[in-house]
Amino acid sequence: MRSLYYQYDEHGERLDLLILLVNVGAAATLLLWAVHMVRTGFERANGNAFRLAIQRSNSNRFKASGVGVVVAMLLQSSTAVAVLVSGFTATGIIGFTPGMSMLLGADLGSALVVQILSFDLSWLMLILLLIGGLLILKGRTGFLRQTGRITLGIGLILLSLQ
């Protein structure tokens, strides 16, 4: 008789619930840390470029939504885009309509990232971890090290999702 307290693998062998919970907790922690690595790497390497792109997209709502998609995919967070946009809207740098377009684009960008991560990218994970580690350790400039941080973070995201 199977118990509610145990999980079983594909061969019918029992897995302890505690081990399962520790694995899920560790994977979630690694995912959160990796997303933080990618976000801070982009902000350190290209923070001013993101801010300028958001400010320049004020003229057209379609351009604003496209910028929202791209920035959300790069930062891997529509919330980060929302914080940036709300700050710019509050100070009057961008208007309400482009700001809303940018937020909708950011939601679309987050959805696209989820779709991309649903594919089997285990082959790419090892390559990204290797390249990211080499760039962090051997990069001569700050930009190269931040690019390595981003690449390593994406590799860790793929690792945590396995």
Q: Are 89 and 95 in contact (CB under 8 A)?
A: yes
Res 1: pLDDT:
47
- pLDDT for the residue 5: 58
Q: Whole-number mean pLDDT of the chain? A: 83
Structure confidence at residue 148 (pLDDT): 92
Residue 47 located in a structural domain? yes
Residues 2 and 23: their CA atoms lie apart, in Å, by: 21
Residue range(s) defining the domain that contains residue 24: 6-160
In a domain, 1, yes or no: no
Q: Is residue 126 part of a domain?
A: yes
Position 2 pLDDT exceeds 60: no
pLDDT at 102 over 70: yes
Q: Answer with the residue of higher pLDDT: 91 or 133.
A: 133
Q: How many domains does the chain have?
A: 1
Q: What pTM was computed for the model?
A: 0.67
d(CA 154, CA 124): 10
